[in-house]
Structure 1
Amino acid sequence: MISHLIEATELIARLDDPNCIVIDASWYLPAMQRDSDEEYRRACIPGTARFDLDRWSDHSSPYPHMLPDPEQFADAMRYCGVSDDSAVIVYDGMGIFSAPRLWWMLRSYGHGNVRVLNGGLPAWEREGYVTESGWDRDRGGRFTQRSVNPGYWADAHDVLTAMNGLGSLVIDARSLGRFKGSDPEPRAGLRSGHIPESRNIPYAEVLDAAGKLQPLDVLRARFTAAGVSPNHKLIASCGSGVSACILALALHQLQFDSVAVYDASWSEWGGDATFPIARFSQS
């Protein structure tokens, strides 16, 4: 079975491999009050490159951290030292939070040789492995610019199609309160509620207390309970396209073949009054 994860005990044996490129993809919500750049400078896995999600996003879009165009993404990967034959390992400082976003971006642009460090930097440190001060610099990779794979990316049109029940299903990674519409959205100007006919699986429910992805049997049971089937064409959504990638990672770990991420997510849907919303119930 193909795994999209790597354990710290496996990664330690690969650090001397020049073809193995490790990237710190940490990014935090403002409410977390953490500085990802400062944390990288203070402690990272030896030899780690730094990927700044805010820097390497589509700044022409009104929505946050949208997928950059092929040229910008190729530049970002070259900056991080990634070449076409690189085995890429991505991690973050939460355990599993923002790293799946870069995992998804790489796969969207045709680089399938990428895995997420299960448990992130905390798991590495719990093993007692050494860290070093990070040095953010251009590492001169040779990454070929490619077009995005449409099977990994979804827009509002795809979501509207999914609402019609044509073999598609939207799964929402936000908290239950935000999904039900009982809790306000953290971004100003957005309506509360959820996409009609979508299912709610808060991203925290696919992680364990240590910030690792839950075992496969636990993941399978959770998605099955929500009515999610391998036969569905799935679209993962969230607030702004970050935690949706955690659900996408979990589903790919379960060998689900058809999983896209609604890139703009609730930042678009919740702010556009022409899109329908539902409240107070789980379909």
Structure 2
Amino acid sequence: MTAIPENHLKIAMAQIAPVWLNKQATLEKIKKAIIEAAQEGAELIVFGEGVLPGYPYWLALTGGAEWNKDVVKELHAHYARNCVDIDAGDLEEVCTLSRKHNIAIYLGIIERPQDRGGHSLYASLVYINQEGEIQSVHRKLQPTYDERLTWSPGDGHGLQVHPLKQFTVGGLNCWENWMPLPRAALYGQGENLHIAVWPGSDYNTKDITRFIARESRSFVVSVSSRMHISDFPKDTPHYEELVKNAPELLSNGGSCIAGPDGEFIVHPDITTEGNIYHTIDFNRVYEERQNFDAVGHYSRPDVTQLHVNRERQSTVKLSPSS
């Protein structure tokens, strides 16, 4: 396989559906997508928001806001049992594949973290470098609308960027891509490759992808899942009620890439189920920063500055035992 120049980066967008709310089966699909991407020479693979183990579609299908409703509580418990405990090693096999194939990974998970007690759930975006090391776990700052009935608000600890060849890469979850200050927090750390992950739909990706690219003069990679009614496993609690109320297609994908000039180089894709590939050229970043750089020559830090709290939040801070 021909070596990819240092200023180029081959990206795989994994537009796949989870085996909904089944952690182990979805992990197998994720591992398969990673192996296929590595065989195609990809150096970075990106998965959609919360693909492991899936988006909480039941909230819109079962009257999720009704207080103390059994169906909602039982589905939430099923969800929690299939969410990701990083400390317990749930991502070890993914990290091993990353290291084996020298491929970086952005993976959307629903996390059940021990540092917040081990019971509440967070929509998190995990970055694994090409050495198979987890470098950051960004917990979504503010779940959107009915997501707040099952996901908890995160913190600023994951507002981090990472070197990847000549690029500096960072990422946000779904609608927090619309939040100007978290975007600026990443721009200010040198981000020039922005990863935006979504549960699905070109409705979400078709405008904001180009807007962020034009604002930041960066590449923007938006990756979404796809989800059909057939992706609900039949052993899911309250399966019959879910499929009775669900549309045939819950998420149509819409994964895409915009260049630093704000124009699409991969238009929103609503047909592919699997990996979508494209190679980007870092030189385009320098070309577009010539006339505008939001945190460089076109900024005025003497007038406006952003202060970011990146401390990981926890209810309990334990002093060392004697």
The TM-score, its normalising length taken from structure 1, stands at 0.26
In terms of fraction of residues, the more strand-rich structure is: 2
- Which has the higher Rg, Structure 1 or Structure 2? 2
The TM-score, its normalising length taken from structure 2, stands at 0.24
